[in-house]
Amino acid sequence: MSNNGAAIAAPNLPDAGAIALAGISKSFPGQGGETLAVLDNISLSVRSHSIVALLGASGCGKSTLLNIIAGLVRPDRGEVSFGGIGSARFKAWRSISYMFQEDRLLPWRTTLANVEFSLEAGDMPRAERHTRARDALKLVGLDGFEDAFPHQLSGGMRSRVALARSLVTEPATLLMDEPFSKLDAQTRAQMHGELLRIHELKHMTIVFVTHDVEEAVILADEVVVLAPRPGRIREIAPIDCARPRDPTDATAIQAIQHLRALI
Amino acid sequence: MRQPQTTATHAPGVRIDLIAKRSALLVALVGIWWLLSLRYPHYVLPGPLRVWDALSLIIDNGDLWRNLTVTLKRVCIGFGLAAVVSVPLGIMLGAIRPLGEFFEPVLPVLNTVSSAIWAIFGIIWFSISEASIIFVVFMTAMPLIITNVWQGTRAVNADFIELAHTLRMPGWKVMTKIYLPTVMPYFFSGARLAFGFGWRVSLVAETIGASSGIGYRLRQAADLIQTDQVFAWTLTMVAMMVALESGVLKPLENHLFRWKKEAETP
């Protein structure tokens, strides 16, 4: 039997966690017929396993940019690629998870069934969905609440369920659109801790949108500051503070002040 | 952390109070009926005892059970077919906009056609048979359920559709996993209406287009001026509807929509 090296080596899958944006522009039809430029010539590369924040004031097109990465909105010009594969040819969309600003839990489903929802797009057998969803709930610290309905949970717990639903597919990339902005300050800080702990375990690439400078500094390896109307990159600031980060720490305060001046 | 709460049940005192009120109402109604029956001949208004005798008679000779099951079977088949056809149709009409726009005028037209007309068509097309009664129930129930389910699709949360979209969920799964659960309460209110209508319509249809069933027996009793039997059949029907409502529909609804109950009562 010949030693087939290709069969033994890991399959040559593209790394969906390495994202590259090249010259992305987007405009929408505005009121009164004229077009409204939302994004202008955005080029950016996101390293695999890193955490990147898209930071900017409202109207800078950061959510649109996230939707373009997610393949939900088509850019007018430019291309998004994952592991070197352009989005037109990219197939592994289910390795990219999207977490919304609201938890969007289905009210008629239990916690466990809500988490399973992510796995129901494909054809995974029921038993495996069950086990995976249970594991994901355990990961976010919600074991024991499998049979609760969303209205029986607190805001922080609902947010954890939404996070579990995003993670249950074992995504290479997690995209988040201001996911914790509706939570109170204390719960938000808890969720930040949870997210970083899980990132340590799973190493998925995280790209998230925020207008909260402190949140960007606590979570991100790199903060992409966007300038509004039309949205363009003002600065890409690496955050070098040691983890776990404390927003009252001197270097963190410095980074926060620097970024505040930019937006 | 809030723990899952158990559903609040009525305090026993409130329950007993309710039972007392209902019994008083029943006694009062039967009493009035009895007093009135004393003033009229029995073929116009038979008294409670006479009706009870008639009821015992049709129970004893098996008439009641035989005709009740015949009618119930027809209504259930017609209603079941209508539900199976109408739920997917209603969802598709609501979810696929061009389809809905195209067929929009059809429903009001169907809803305006009287059930009596369907009964006549039923006899023309299927003659006096099971099929003609089932047809009438079907044609009455179908537009009602479609209309309600269609209306229910407007309550579908666009956020959930977007969520399914990010998961690359195929269209038919979006229908079964998001549209279907959302329209279920609407389906239920439509189905309740449709079942009630279907039941009444089947009786009318049976009086003109069948040789068995409660409707047929009602007409026979009326023709022979057995007013006490007409009363007995009527009581049977009322009892059956109450039993279906409190024994099947309500418990089923409570189970299906248990996620809703507490969410809506703050």
Alpha helices in A126-249 (DSSP H): 126-139, 155-167, 185-202, 213-219
pLDDT in tens, A222-261: 999 988 888 888 888 888 877 778 878 888 788 888 888 8
Q: Do B167 and A117 touch (CB under 8 A)?
A: yes
Mean pLDDT of B4-16: 59
d(CA B244, CA B250): 9
Angle at A208 between CA A206 and CA A213, to 5 degrees: 125
* Confidence (pLDDT) at B13: 73
User: Which has the closest alpha carbon to B81: B125, B127, B129, B146?
Assistant: B146
The whole-angstrom distance between residue A133's C-alpha and the CA centroid of its chain comes to 19
| Alpha-carbon gap: B10 to the closest alpha carbon of chain A (Å) | 21
Give the domain range for residue B124.
67-211
Give domain status of residue B10, yes or no. no
DSSP designation for A247: T
**CB A15, CB A48: distance < 8 Å:** yes
d(CA B155, CA A76): 33
Structure tokens at B41: 């001949």
Number of domains, chain B: 1
Query: Is the pLDDT score of B84 beyond 80?
Result: yes
pLDDT tens string, chain A, 263 residues long: the values are: 444 433 333 445 567 778 888 888 888 887 777 788 888 888 999 988 899 999 988 778 888 999 999 988 999 988 998 888 888 888 888 889 999 999 999 999 999 999 999 999 988 899 999 999 999 999 888 888 989 999 889 888 999 999 999 999 989 999 999 988 888 888 888 889 989 999 988 889 999 999 888 888 889 899 999 888 888 888 888 888 777 788 788 887 888 888 888 87
Task: Give the residue extent of every domain in chain A.
Answer: 14-92+172-262, 106-171
Most B-contacting residue of A108, A111, A157, A190 (CB-CB within 10 A), to test interface: A108
Q: Do A107 and B160 touch (CB under 8 A)?
A: no
**CB B94, CB B154: distance < 8 Å:** yes
Residues in B touching A72 (Cβ below 8 Å) = 162, 165-166
- Chain B's closest residue to A72, CA to CA, is B166
* Confidence (pLDDT) at B24: 93
**CB A48, CB A74: distance < 8 Å:** no
Residues in chain A: 263
Least confident of A100-109, B2-11, B191-200: B2-11
**CB A29, CB A236: distance < 8 Å:** no
Among B164, B168, B263, select the one facing A107 at the smallest CB separation.
B263
Query: Domain A14-92+172-262 in CATH: superfamily?
Result: P-loop containing nucleotide triphosphate hydrolases (3.40.50.300)
**CB A179, CB A162: distance < 8 Å:** yes
In this structure, what CATH number is given to the domain that contains residue B168? 1.10.3720.10
